[in-house]
Structure 1
């Protein structure tokens, strides 16, 4: 497309301040010199040092104020002093089938023909307590209510 051709009568006449100046600053635009000065200022300022935070160390897991005697353990985990590794740690519990489980399964089998139900739930199972540190079997809580201590203190 060709540029428009003006005759001398049609050409716009600019007077004084109206005449456009090429290379002048336009709104929202910075001249090259200002950009260079800004970049030099940024380089001359020292980079701001952000202090790095030290990674938080995990809290020790054996910060229990008191330990439960092994003969007092019941269904849930509890902090104990392990006689094997001598560390105060929360016990890990595991549900295992015991005498009560077998008895209830026999009764369910005779009455309802659903002898597998006691083996699928934890309601009728015994609880084994293991050390949270070394994994040693410490005690077994039976559904009948008694606790059998399996690990004794070694001197």
Structure 2
């Protein structure tokens, strides 16, 4: 058996689309709803008034302020900074102390034959010593710069 030339398969559950309702039908459907009652506010229809309930009493929240200081890099020159102990803007005071580089220089000079006191010269040169930075206001040690 041969199907007809203009035959097209139709999926199961498919119905033909119906025409939109006429103006009279649409007007009749609109008129079925009752008119709004007196005092009806159309602009607040979607925003009903809220009932405010008192919030339960909770203990007050304490806020703690934490100050985070950036790590400061110290060198062999004074540094302008905010002291983390007294919170004042200062320029650090430097104090020099003999460190590893001064002792190694002294030992090296002894090996080269400078035993007659010349090996003590590194202890007189600030550029071979370690540097400690102090606050000029509260005299607290803020940091150190080690040569080695």
Normalising by structure 1, report the TM-score: 0.46
Normalising by structure 2, report the TM-score: 0.48
Of structures 1 and 2, the one scoring higher in RCO (CA 8 A, sep 6+) is 2
